[in-house]
Amino acid sequence: MIHSIQAQVCTESIRNNIAAIRRRLSPNTEICAVIKADAYGHGVRCVLPILQEANIERTVVAHLEEGLELRRLGWIRPILCLCPFLAVGSAQQRIQNALSAVTANILCTVTSVAETEALSLAANQTGRRARVEIKIDSGMGRMGFLPSDGEKFVATVARMPQIAIEGIYTHFASSDDEDLTYTQHQLDTFNTFRDRLSGQGFTIGGYHAANSAAVFRATHSCLDSVRPGLALYGYWGGPVGQRPDDLLPAMRIVARLTSVRRVPAGYPIGYGRTFVTSRPSLIGIVPIGYADGYRRLLSNNAVMTLAAKPGQSRRQVPVIGRVSMDQTTVDLTDAGPVEANDEIIVIDTDPHAPNSVEALARKLNTIPYEITTMIGSRIPRVSV
């Protein structure tokens, strides 16, 4: 099938970004690549082979089903599931999920004794030890144990013979802020907790705290492993002036103009007639809309880029009228010769382009994560 639009995922850029992360780490620090939410919208089927080739030590997902999918795709290395999926459902459902996790050798984040008991039962049935990680809330205020409660919970789990504590981790609330004072406070809290456990002789696989921003801005927080997500794909959520030069955005969205036609001056464009041509105009239709994650807030407020072709360089063209569910209109009047089927770049890999992921995030007063994860399933992901 020929697609009029696709998300092109650059394998070389992801390789480059992995190398950029490695350069910030000590030789013994492992990378736990965060590939939840379909690899932040990039397509886990595109990204996983790159991680395998790059010898990434672990992957991180949010939900059990994401972890099981990685196993189906052939990933044999450790997988950490962040969300405590054993905290919900009936007793029978919890046991079934625990069996799935233990059988697939997925590391479970646990938040209660009931969850560890379900894992113990599953371990007895399968003849395999259940592997867990415990999250400490060092100041994020979302999920995890306060340090005082976490110490007691670790002691309880450590006495369960069917369970191995593979890791203990925390998550920074604001490592992408200009001021890193609070990040340092969280790290100090976590390190104090780690030191207290070390003095009690517990066997813990490792400790981790650093996310993407911390890897680049607070390298002293890179402990036994790190959990980069956004940086794997080449995007930056920290202060604009601190964007690392060696991060390369990995995905661009490229479409083909499905219609190019002329309209007279004074002609309304799109729903609500929010744009009216001031001159005879050449307009083009791009097959992407808000159903595909191209936000309606970009109506009359964004640009796309006509791809270069023989005799013509790249040209930026404005979005005009309202973004529809499936289509967006651009003004081609000043772009020179253009025809249907010409290539147009909706989202550019140039981080400084006005239609880059980061530029669109700033325009929409949001974050790069939201831009990439909202790209809809109708747009095929293709490795290039």
**Which residue in the list 36, 135, 290, 294 is annotated as catalytic?**
36
Residue type, 105: N
Q: What is the CB-side half-sphere exposure of residue 320 using CA atoms within 13 A?
A: 20
Query: What distance in Å separates the CA atoms of residue 301 and residue 84, rounded to the nearest whole number?
Result: 40
310 Cβ neighbours under 8 A, 6+ residues apart: none
Q: Which residue has the tokens 């499905």?
A: 258
Active site residue 169: no
Residue 253 bridge partners (DSSP): 7, 347
Q: How many CB atoms lie within 10 A of CB 92?
A: 8
For residue 199, CA distances in Å to 18, 196, 203, 214 come to 34, 5, 11, 27
Who's near 243: CB < 8 A, 6+ residues apart? 236, 351, 358
What are the distances in angstroms from CA 216 to CA 238, 246, 357, 380? 10, 11, 19, 31
Find, among 100, 84, 82, the residue nearest to 92 by Cα. 100
Q: CA torsion angle for 263, 265, 267, 268 (degrees, to 10)?
A: 110
- Residue from 182, 233, 267, 271 carrying the catalytic annotation: 271
The C-alpha atoms of residue 261 and residue 251 are separated, in whole angstroms, by 29
Determine whether 152 is an active site residue.
Answer: no
Which residues are part of the catalytic machinery?
A: 36, 271
